[in-house]
Chains A and B, each alone.
Chain A
Amino acid sequence: MKSHALAAAVALTATGLATAGSAETLRLLTWGSYAPDALIEKFEEMYPDIEVEVTYSNNEEMIAKLRATGGAGFDLAQPSHDRIYAPQIEYEIYKPLDLTKINTGAMSKVHLDAVLENTTIDGEVYAVPHQWGTSGLMANTSLAPDVSGWGDLCDSQYAGKTSMRLRRTILLGTAFAMGEDPFAAYADLDAYQDLLDRVADELIECKANIKAYWQGGDDLSAMMLSGEIVASETWDSTAYKLYNENPDIVFIPPETGALTWIDTFVIPAKGQADDAAYKWINFVLDPENIKIMSASTGAIAAVPGGTELLPEDKRAAVSAAFSDEDIENLKFFANIPPGVEDMEGKTLEKIKAATGG
């Protein structure tokens, strides 16, 4: 009886493996909107033996998922460029890339260099750039015309009418607004802790001015469009979307520099479809496909002239937001050294628990 059941189970597993082997599956772990259906269909038409399976996630959850399995379960992932070095050192969840298989010539040099510099460990490269964007401020210029820096969210003339997301971005932005360079302070964690403590004091004092901390693009959009808030920290793509509905709402790169992220491609340590993964990376570098991708993500492709490949309305929003000077002033997120996330997390909890207002 027992041995029969066992045999049946073995047979089942064997057939399961056999079907998995004949048609390759590319399991993509990425951000919502980073795998539009139109692109997936086009890709599957081009490579009929590859099937694309998409799981939507965010930076922290991508790393948590890969950490839980030691880098198994997915064949291609897209964390931001500052989320690769430390997780690789701590959990060994990525696989070195073979750059000869990637059309790096099509990528814009500034983004490629920034990613390579941040994600090379012991001579091995772990990521290449895909799309980039910024975090900064947004304001309804008819109601809040003078917003120019992170500190303006705490300006009492907007009391109860501003918002921010209680995550690491606002810690970094506030540090810059205080005239500090948090990325430089990463080198000395004691100094960074000291800086974090001062940032926490600033943000706790600011609490009375804040209406609520937003959690995601949806609640932020609702508060902004209804006029419940007039200025907020934001992702640029959220601001661009709102610009289409109300041209008074614009993205404002803070005077200390918009914080810039680059979403990348990495191959998880136990990925099982590397070739398909490389095919997808090269596929989405094609200018036609970039147009479809950027229309869906609202982010800019990391290729020369990436802004030109944005759809009309997004391009208008970008040019309303950025001057050439602002582009010069972009601050790329620096690699997060091991341990910094924990320090920042504790600081954020301290701010949330404080009864400031």
Chain B
Amino acid sequence: MSRDARRLSLILLFAPFALWILLLIALPHLGILALSMREKVAPRVYEFGFGNYAEFITEPIYWNTLLRTGSMSLLVTFLALIIGFPIAYYIAKIAGKRARGALFLMCLIPLWVSDLIRAFGWILLLRESGVISRSLQWMGLTQSGIEFLYNDAAVIVGLVYTVILFMIVPLVSTLDGMGDDMIEAGYNLGGNSLTVLRRIIVPYAMPGIVAGCIVVFMMTAGSYLTPILLGGKNSSWFTEQIYNQFISRFNWEGGAAFGVLLLLFTSGVVWIGLRLSGQSLANTVARS
């Protein structure tokens, strides 16, 4: 009886996880995959085929946009790392116990409002009649207003701002585990700050760096609102094309194929990143 009860409780504990994976992750992806391999031949008539993927390969607009999205996402990831690392290092190693909580909280505050509101915040700051442009005019640095919005730089700034917390958290938790004695030993052995950073801190923080980069890259490549709202007339983003396929063009099959391609592409980039850094999923994302 008690054995049955234990088994039952194990099943009950496991069930939500299993249902989640099956119903909300596995099945929808399989559905999208099946949908992407349907070709429309006439109204209400579909055939199995790879036409939607052929369409992607033969049309440079599509793979150019995917490459553009990928490279800009890598840039955002890199910037988030460069900016996030010193912040994480300060929080984990330099700040006092009590300051740490407050600092962490300050990093969290932007997440209390939705993506949409944050994007509107940037719009108010960056637009031609916005805060920054007006201040520059007021200081006499420029005669006419300057448009900071509607370009790729605005998209990158907005994205870095949105995702940087997801870089800071894994970095703090990794750096936290590093003893100060290791850094002291590095200096005692004659290393300067740069050597200590390069030979001790970065290698130690590598799992956190890789985990943060993976999360940030995935979030950026899959983001929709920020690139749409802050981007300009030439700023195509791949998720926008997926939306257009599904909603404007009524082409669910094409949109599904694009979705699968985005997943494969980002997974491929992450795999290459793991190989280059010599890390594995188990000791990076899974650990933090």
Contact = CB atoms under 8 A, between A and B. Distances in A.
Interface of A: 60-61, 63-64, 67, 87, 89-92, 167, 207, 210-213, 215, 219, 222, 226-228, 338, 341-342, 344-346, 348-350, 352-357
B173 interface: no
B248 A341 contact: yes
A342 B250 contact: yes
A338 B150 contact: no
Given A352-B236, A355-B234, A92 B229 contact: no
A350 B236 CA distance: 10
A352 B233 contact: yes
B250 A228 contact: no
Contacts of B43: 89-90, 338
B9 to A, nearest CB: 13
Given A90-B44, A215-B229, A227-B129, A353 B250 contact: no
Interface residues of B, number: 29
A349 B250 CA distance: 14
A212 B233 contact: yes
Given A226-B128, A226-B129, A353-B61, A213 B233 contact: yes
Contacts of A226: 127-129
Contacts of B232: 212
A258 B128 CA distance: 30
A228 B249 contact: no
A348 B244 contact: yes
12 contacts: A64-B246, A64-B250, A67-B250, A87-B250, A90-B43, A228-B128, A228-B145, A228-B147, A341-B248, A345-B249, A349-B244, A353-B64
Contacts of A350: 61
Contact of A353 (B65, B228, B248): B65
Nearest to A207: B233
A348 B65 CA distance: 14
B279 interface: no
Contacts of B129: 226-228
B233 A90 contact: no
Given A60-B248, A341-B249, A345-B245, 6 more contacts: A212-B233, A228-B129, A341-B250, A345-B244, A349-B236, A352-B234
B241 interface: yes
Contacts of B251: 342, 345
Contacts of B64: 353
B247 interface: yes
Contacts of A61: 247
Given A212-B233, A213-B233, A355-B234, A228 B127 contact: yes
Contacts of B244: 345, 348-349
Given A213-B233, A227-B129, A228-B127, A349 B228 contact: no
Contacts of B127: 222, 226, 228
Contacts of B65: 353
Nearest to B145: A228
Contacts of B248: 60, 167, 341, 345, 348
Nearest to B245: A345
B286 to A, nearest CB: 34
B150 A212 contact: yes
A90 to B, nearest CB: 4
Contacts of A222: 127
Nearest to B247: A60
Nearest to A213: B233
Nearest to A208: B233
B86 to A, nearest CB: 34
A58 to B, nearest CB: 9
A327 B228 CA distance: 36
A210 B233 contact: yes
A89 B127 CA distance: 44
A227 B241 CA distance: 31
Nearest to A91: B44
A338 B149 CA distance: 37
Nearest to A1: B8
A85 B228 CA distance: 31
B68 to A, nearest CB: 9
A63 B250 contact: yes
Nearest to A64: B247
Contacts of B252: 67
Given A60-B248, A226-B129, A341-B250, A211 B236 contact: no
Chain A CB within 10 Å, residue with most, of B150, B232, B244, B252: B244
Nearest to A351: B233
Nearest to A355: B234
Contacts of A211: 147, 150
A341 B241 CA distance: 14
Nearest to B235: A352
Which residue, A211, A344, A348, A356, has most C-beta atoms of chain B within 10 A? A211
Nearest to B55: A346
A67 B252 CA distance: 10
Given A64-B246, A341-B248, A353 B233 contact: no
A346 B249 contact: yes
A186 to B, nearest CB: 16
Interface in B176-214: none
